[in-house]
Amino acid sequence: MEKVNPRWCFSPFLYRSLNPCAFTVFILLGTEENSLMELLRFMYSGKLTTIEPTLLLDILMPADKFEVPACIRYCSQLLISRPMTTESALLYLGHPCSILMAAEVQSLVRAAKGFLANKYKDFDKFQDELMNISLVGIEAIFLSSDLHVLCEDVVYYFLLKWARVRYYYSEEERRKVLSYRLLPLVRFSNMSCDALQKVLTCEDVDIDHEYLTKHIAEVLLHKAYPNQMEGGLAANVTTCWQFAERAYDFRLLRVVAFNQPCPQVTVYMDLKRDECSRLFPSGGICSQMFHLAGHKFYLLANCKMVEQATSYSFALSLHIFDEPAGSICLDIEFAARTKPIGKFVSKYGYKNTMTGDWSQGCSDLFGMPWSTFIADDSLFIDGVLYLRADLTLVEQPELQT
């Protein structure tokens, strides 16, 4: 008489708890035999013989198929208690998850996403390494608002590069991944005007332009009219697109431009008190670019030594990025909101003719030492310094012949 392997001897209770068809499949698939035996051991004793992440994930599969939520919880708790690595985090995020398993492993998924977002938040430092991260990892990293990056334009161009390298041989898959999984991670409302125009006008075959244009329009509408966006459209935008600022090197601006009666632009830049505190003694914050009369400008806020007073103060200056052909005459005004009224009050005004590599500003915008400025609650309204710069074109540039 053939000897029966005791591993296949099940109690009536255990047999009733298993789906017979699924059990037969597991028996035939020898590669999953160990995970099934671990599940049976847990059902009898409430314990497992392994804490290896890969094996625990394997056990989750039969635990899910045979609907053993206690085992799913137990495996998830063991995985969370293990030290997280890039490899294990990607393993967890890439693991298939059914509806039954979703609630139990949610904390594990959150931990894996948080680990990757925190480890790779310095984009410049890990840019090359990110090219080797799988899609689920890239999604977790670029979903984060803590990502430290030069500007949102960099995020867009990196994701294009990543998709083209990783899906080089599959045009259809590349287009699908880019359009519906990666580009929704880009915060288009925070992109520069130049980059956004290129995105909207490009004819890249790797992108579903109809889908992308529709979503960019929704994002910009939400940014321009947040209180008017109601119902399904607002809910869709809030769910699919992230609006929070990342940790950008170039500070975002709110820009209002006029063409009549003369070209004029008003830009608003907000700085938190702790950001200003970190400027001492020689730090600076650059704004993103903005345009006037066909030229690119940016603001620079910094802590500067006032030579006459031998003390530090808050400085604000305007810089031109490209050298003008000829000269441009500008009226410049810097203002800040102040208490108790909360309106903008002019702090600096100047009319200047721009030629060549040009900058203009005030090395002591508020006329007070740094220590007095940083503690002044009339300037920091709810902990935020609100700045405004007004630029008006007085004279059109002369064209060189």
For residues 57 and 188, membership in a common domain is answered with no
Predicted local confidence at residue 132, as pLDDT: 95
Residue 238 lies in a domain: no
Q: Would you call 382 exposed, middle or buried from its count of C-beta atoms within 10 A (0-12, 13-18, 19+)? A: exposed
Q: Which domain holds residue 219?
A: 149-224
Over the stretch 46-98, which tens digit does the pLDDT of each residue have?
A: 888 888 888 888 888 888 888 888 888 899 889 989 899 999 999 999 887 66
For residues 270 and 372, membership in a common domain is answered with yes
For residues 302 and 387, membership in a common domain is answered with yes
Residue 384 lies in a domain: yes
Q: How many whole angstroms separate alpha carbon 71 and alpha carbon 328?
A: 73
For residues 261 and 306, membership in a common domain is answered with yes
Residue 324 lies in a domain: yes
Predicted local confidence at residue 50, as pLDDT: 86
Residue 143 lies in a domain: no
For residues 257 and 368, membership in a common domain is answered with yes
Residue 4 lies in a domain: no
For residues 216 and 256, membership in a common domain is answered with no
297's enclosing H/E stretch is strand 295-306
3-state DSSP: the chain helix, strand, coil percent, rounded to 5?
A: 45, 20, 30
For residues 215 and 336, membership in a common domain is answered with no
For residues 338 and 274, membership in a common domain is answered with yes
For residues 359 and 253, membership in a common domain is answered with yes
For residues 218 and 288, membership in a common domain is answered with no
Residue 128 lies in a domain: no
Predicted local confidence at residue 25, as pLDDT: 47
Within a 10 A sphere around the Cβ of 158, how many other Cβ atoms? 19
Residue 125 lies in a domain: no
For residues 166 and 297, membership in a common domain is answered with no
For residues 253 and 384, membership in a common domain is answered with yes
Instruction: Give the chain's domain count.
Output: 3
Residue 24 lies in a domain: no
Tens-digit pLDDT profile for the chain (401 aa)? 333 333 333 333 344 444 544 444 444 344 467 888 888 888 888 888 888 888 888 888 888 888 888 888 899 889 989 899 999 999 999 887 665 566 778 888 899 999 999 999 999 999 999 999 999 999 999 999 999 999 999 999 999 999 999 999 999 999 999 999 999 999 998 998 888 888 888 888 889 888 888 888 888 887 777 666 555 444 454 444 456 789 899 999 999 988 888 889 999 999 999 999 999 998 999 999 998 888 889 999 999 987 766 789 999 999 988 776 667 788 999 999 999 888 999 999 988 776 666 788 899 999 999 999 999 999 999 999 999 999 998 865 454 54
CB 370 within 8 A of CB 314: yes
Q: Where are the alpha helices (DSSP H) in 269-390?
A: 273-277, 370-374
Domain CATH code at residue 273: 2.60.210.10
Predicted local confidence at residue 28, as pLDDT: 38
